[in-house]
Amino acid sequence: MLALHLLWVGLRVPYSVVFRRMQEVARFRDRGAAASHLESGRRSGAAIVEWVLRSSQEHDVVLFRGPRKGALEFVPALLHPRLLVEAAATDRSDPHYRGRPIAIGTRDGKRGQIVIIGDGDKLGVELR
Amino acid sequence: MSSRRFDLVSLGPIYALASFGVIAHAFLLAGAAVPSWIWLPSIAAALGLSTLRVRQVDEPTERSSLGAESAATRLETVLGVVLLAATFAALTYGAIATPAREWDGFVSWELRARVLAESLTLDQDFFRDPAVFGHTREYPPLQPLVLASIARLSGSFAAARLFFPILWLAWLALLERGFRAARVPSRWRGFGMCAAGLTPVLVDPTMGAVDSGFGELLCLFAWSGAAVGLLTRHGPLTVAALALTILAKPEGIFLSGIFLLTAWVSGNRHALGSALLGAGGAALLWFPVYTQLTSTTPTSPWLLVAVVAAASIALLASATWLHRRGTSPAARMGLVAAAIAALVACAGFLADSLGSQGGVLGLYLSGMDRAVARLDRLGEIGLAMLSTSLAPRHLGLLVAIGFALVVFAWRDAVYPDLRRLVMLGFVGLLAPFLLSPEPDLRHHVSSSLDRLLLQQSGAAWLLVLPWLYRATRPPAQPAGLVAGSTR
């Protein structure tokens, strides 16, 4: 049985360990972090994250609302070093949160504070 | 390489990481930033502790077949080295080529490391402000701290991720040390390193793999160290490994409980004392940090000290009393039911102390009602555990070999304490699924059991390989008939 085990794990090395890993790395590099994490399976929202990245500075706070599950779980890491903060915890009239500017964006002719909306496997965005 | 010098390689990393964890947590508790120079005392401690003699170590005595099989053995060696080298190269490439590509590795473990790389302190909004979305920020910060400090020292986060393939190598060296302590011949030690090192769920590009960024590898490394400590009755190694197990992942609490239970049932007071020192000390360092990270009302440190001290005294006193009465391990297992009842009672207290709403520990510990309600699904959970653990794509044939040994080679069983550790660890995996807050139990088992099993696979190989070796070698001939015998 040990010989069978060794045969099984040994034969897997060229394809499962080496080739599949190289494929995965190449795919990740081609697509970028946002699409790799958010456009897989049922998840979506990479375009929103990429728009927020373009619209904000690294030191900014980006607001969110919705349950901290699903696609939204990836957003703090994708936006790092920006901080993702509950919109409800901030004051609408204050352009800062704990000394950091709140990210402002322009979309469809409207300008306002960016709020990412977590909705299960999907992401949305609104400006307030 | 001499045995002592090899111990620097095989045991040094576990001492260094445990020392780093203890010192770093002392800084965190003091509310200070963790300086990167603490690697210096950590490495010095590792150098010192690695020179301590490991007991029950012996070179294999059976060398008679080596000459006859030298050509085959050389081929096996070359094949094994090529496979391990190719895997190491793939893991290294996978680790440094991109940021973490798997879920928890990306959203939790690596993000916390990147935040800490900017400033090695938990006193920042990401960790302190509940309004900030910091995924599972209450998880033990040791691995993120290690990566962050290496990133600061090297100036590159990719360089820090080299930690993962190097830790995989260190784990293999640790296993080799364990096999050697178990008097497994060198050829079989090579088999064991390949069999364990190429475990599919550890080396495939998947969740929990070496380069996935998850905490599984560190937990596996620490728990394997605990198994080697138990096998060799090596106190300092047991202390360091149990401390590291607690500081590595939340599952460390569960695994440490399994170790304490094993030592208590086995009447192994030496291991029990060492484990209490390592696990209890680390728990005292980590729990206050945990309550800070869950933003719940901090539990008084004196209350924590009192609870850990009372539990330690109760365990040691009962072990001593049972030893004097000559109580058998079987009878002690009967008493375990009472211990589990006590644990259930304690879990309520711990859930309150540790924040039943905020953190992952509280969520599990407050799940006693769920566990009772799920008792009728015990068979379903057990079957799911069996099918997952026997599926070759996760652990290869490890569990199948283990079952075969239990059924067909029980009389050749080795190392009763380690056997209990592995078996209690396996059966104990029912507990997290009974307590889990996850509503879809089937999905929970299929998505996380392979990683929970992986954490214990090193300890399992340390048991299975010597047992298999003993079961398959030809029966010893009477001493007078052995060629060259001088008797």
For B4, B22, B44, B59, B428, the CA distances from B11, given in Å and listed in that order, are 10, 17, 13, 18, 27
Please tell me the distance in Å from B51's CA to the nearest CA on chain A. 34
Give the whole-angstrom CA distance, residue B304 versus residue B307: 5
Closest A-chain CA to B90: A18
The whole-number pLDDT of residue B219 equals: 97
Give the whole-angstrom CA distance, residue B113 versus residue A114: 26
Residue written as tokens 């010989």? A3
Bigger pLDDT: A51 vs B288: A51
Q: Parallel, antiparallel, or unpaired for β A122-127 and A110-119? A: antiparallel
Give the whole-angstrom CA distance, residue B227 versus residue B242: 10
SS3 letters for chain A?
CHHHHHHHHHHHHHHHHHHHHHHHHHHHHHHHHHHHHHCCCCCCCHHHHHHHHHHCCCCCEEEEECCCCHHHHHHHHHHCCCEEEEHHHCCCCCCEECCEEECEEEECCEEEEEEEEEECCEEEEEEC
Residue B290's contacts (CB-CB under 8 Å, 6 or more residues apart) are: B138, B140, B354, B359, B361
Q: Left if phi > 0, otherwise alpha if psi is -120 to 50, otherwise beta: which for B127?
A: alpha
The whole-number pLDDT of residue B361 equals: 64
Check: CB of residue B319 under 8 Å from CB of residue B264: yes
Give the whole-angstrom CA distance, residue B224 versus residue B222: 5
Q: Do B86 and A89 touch (CB under 8 A)?
A: no
What residues of A are in contact with residue B447 (Cβ under 8 Å)? none
**Where residue B209 falls among pLDDT bands split at 50, 70, 90?**
very high
Query: What is the average pLDDT value for chain B, to the nearest integer?
Result: 85
Chain B interface test: which of A17, A43, A94 (most B C-beta within 10 Å): A17
B83, B133, B398 ranked by CB distance to A68: nearest: B133
Cβ-based contacts under 8 A for chains A and B: 127
Q: For A21-25, B2-6, B104-108, which range has the lowest pLDDT when averaged over its residues? A: B2-6
Question: Three-state DSSP class for B475?
Answer: coil
What residues of A are in contact with residue B114 (Cβ under 8 Å)? 77, 80-81
Q: Has residue A35 got a pLDDT over 60? A: yes
Query: What is the average pLDDT value for chain A, to the nearest integer?
Result: 94
Q: Do A24 and B198 touch (CB under 8 A)?
A: no
Residue written as tokens 């696990």? B279
**Where residue B485 falls among pLDDT bands split at 50, 70, 90?**
very low
Question: Could you report the per-residue pLDDT of A78-89, keeping only the tens digit for each?
Answer: 999 999 999 999
**Where residue B220 falls among pLDDT bands split at 50, 70, 90?**
very high
**Where residue B372 falls among pLDDT bands split at 50, 70, 90?**
low
pTM, rounded to two decimals: 0.90
**Where residue B483 falls among pLDDT bands split at 50, 70, 90?**
very low
Q: Has residue B3 got a pLDDT over 70? A: no
Residues within 8 A of A (CB atoms), B 168-197 only:
191, 194-195
Nearest CA-CA partner of B290 in B122, B143, B147, B438: B122
Q: Do A10 and B135 touch (CB under 8 A)?
A: no
Give the whole-angstrom CA distance, residue B328 versus residue B312: 21
Q: Do A21 and B205 touch (CB under 8 A)?
A: yes
The whole-number pLDDT of residue B486 equals: 33
Chain A interface test: which of B132, B395, B399, B407 (most A C-beta within 10 Å): B132
Q: Do A77 and B111 touch (CB under 8 A)?
A: yes
**Mean of pLDDT values over B334-338:** 73
What residues of B are in contact with residue A72 (Cβ under 8 Å)? 133
Q: Do A84 and B133 touch (CB under 8 A)?
A: yes
Q: Has residue B476 got a pLDDT over 70? A: no
Q: For A7-11, B53-57, B405-409, B452-456, which range has the lowest pLDDT when averaged over its residues? A: B53-57
Q: Is B398 on the interface with A (CB under 8 A)?
A: yes
- CB-based burial label for A106 (10 Å; 0-12, 13-18, 19+): exposed
Q: Has residue B313 got a pLDDT over 70? A: yes
Helices B398-408 and B378-390, packing angle to 10 deg: 110
**Mean of pLDDT values over B189-197:** 95
The whole-number pLDDT of residue B58 equals: 46
Q: Has residue B395 got a pLDDT over 50? A: yes
Nearest CA-CA partner of B121 in B30, B253, B248: B30
Nearest CA-CA partner of B212 in B83, B361, B126, B107: B107
Quote the percentage of chain B above a pLDDT of 70.
84
Give per-residue burial for B247-270: e unless 16+ CB within 10 Å, then b: bbbbbbbbbbbbbbbbbbbbbbbe
Check: CB of residue B17 under 8 Å from CB of residue B246: no
Question: Three-state DSSP class for B450?
Answer: helix
Q: Do A29 and B107 touch (CB under 8 A)?
A: no
For CA atoms B245, B250, B251, B257, the dihedral sign is: positive
Please tell me the distance in Å from A84's CA to the nearest CA on chain B. 6
**Mean of pLDDT values over B160-171:** 96
Question: Could you report the per-residue pLDDT of A66-119, keeping only the tens digit for each?
Answer: 999 999 999 999 999 999 999 999 998 999 999 999 999 998 889 999 999 999
Check: CB of residue B400 under 8 Å from CB of residue A13: no
Closest B-chain CA to A70: B103
Residue B166's contacts (CB-CB under 8 Å, 6 or more residues apart) are: none
Chain B interface test: which of A5, A18, A42, A59 (most B C-beta within 10 Å): A5
Check: CB of residue B113 under 8 Å from CB of residue B140: no
Q: For B67-81, B186-200, B388-402, which range has the lowest pLDDT when averaged over its residues? A: B67-81
Q: Left if phi > 0, otherwise alpha if psi is -120 to 50, otherwise beta: which for B472?
A: alpha
Q: Do B90 and A18 touch (CB under 8 A)?
A: yes
Question: Could you report the per-residue pLDDT of B42-79, keeping only the tens digit for each?
Answer: 999 998 888 877 665 444 455 444 445 677 788 888 99
Question: Could you report the per-residue pLDDT of A37-53, keeping only the tens digit for each?
Answer: 998 878 889 999 999 99
What residues of B are in contact with residue A84 (Cβ under 8 Å)? 132-133
Please tell me the distance in Å from B224's CA to the nearest CA on chain A. 20
Q: Is B126 on the interface with A (CB under 8 A)?
A: yes
Q: How many Cβ atoms sit within 10 Å of the Cβ of residue B128? A: 14
**Where residue B311 falls among pLDDT bands split at 50, 70, 90?**
confident
Question: Could you report the per-residue pLDDT of B419-467, keeping only the tens digit for each?
Answer: 999 999 988 888 878 777 777 777 788 788 899 999 999 999 999 999 9
Say how many CA atoms lie within 13 Å of B453 toward its Cβ. 28
Nearest CA-CA partner of B228 in B462, B465, B452: B462
Q: Is B205 on the interface with A (CB under 8 A)?
A: yes
Q: Has residue B478 got a pLDDT over 60? A: no
Check: CB of residue B465 under 8 Å from CB of residue B184: yes
The whole-number pLDDT of residue B10 equals: 86
Q: Do B99 and A76 touch (CB under 8 A)?
A: no
The whole-number pLDDT of residue B369 equals: 63
Q: Has residue B294 got a pLDDT over 90? A: no
Q: Has residue B295 got a pLDDT over 70? A: no
Token representation of residue B130:
């509940």
**Mean of pLDDT values over B23-30:** 93
Q: Do A86 and B133 touch (CB under 8 A)?
A: yes
Residues within 8 A of A (CB atoms), B 273-332 only:
none
Q: Is B404 on the interface with A (CB under 8 A)?
A: yes
What residues of A are in contact with residue B200 (Cβ under 8 Å)? 9, 12, 16
Residue A64 forms beta bridges with which residues? A86, A116
**Mean of pLDDT values over B374-385:** 80
B86, B110, B200 ranked by CB distance to A9: nearest: B200
The whole-number pLDDT of residue B363 equals: 64
The whole-number pLDDT of residue B195 equals: 96
Check: CB of residue B198 under 8 Å from CB of residue A9: yes
The whole-number pLDDT of residue A23 equals: 96
Q: Do A77 and B86 touch (CB under 8 A)?
A: no
The whole-number pLDDT of residue B299 equals: 67
Residue written as tokens 């928890």? B104
